A and B are shown apart, each in its own frame.
Chain A
Amino acid sequence: DIQMTQSPSSVSASVGDRVTITCRASQGISSWLAWYQQKPGKAPNLLIYTASSLQSGVPSRFSGSGSGTDFTLTISSLQPEDFATYYCQQSNSFPYTFGQGTKLEIK
Chain B
Amino acid sequence: QVTLRESGPALVKPTQTLTLTCTFSGFSLSTSGMCVSWIRQPPGKALEWLARIDWDDDKYYRTSLKTRLTISKDTSKNQVVLTMTKMDPVDTATYYCARIISSSGHIDYWGQGTLVTVSS
Contact = CB atoms under 8 A, between A and B. Distances in A.
Partners in one complex: yes
Interface residues of B, number: 21
B60 A44 contact: no
A91 B105 contact: yes
Given A36-B107, A43-B112, A95 B61 contact: yes
Q: How large is the interface on A (under 10, 10 to 19, 20 to 34, 35 or more residues)?
A: 20 to 34
B63 interface: yes
A38 B48 CA distance: 14
A96 B104 contact: no
Contact of B47 (A1, A32, A87): A87
Interface string A6-43: 00000000000000000000000000101010100001
Interface residues of A, dominant DSSP: loop
Nearest to A87: B47
B111 A49 contact: no
B62 A44 contact: no
Given A43-B96, A43-B112, A96-B37, A50 B49 contact: no
Interface of A: 1, 32, 34, 36, 38, 43-46, 49-50, 55, 87, 89, 91-92, 94-101
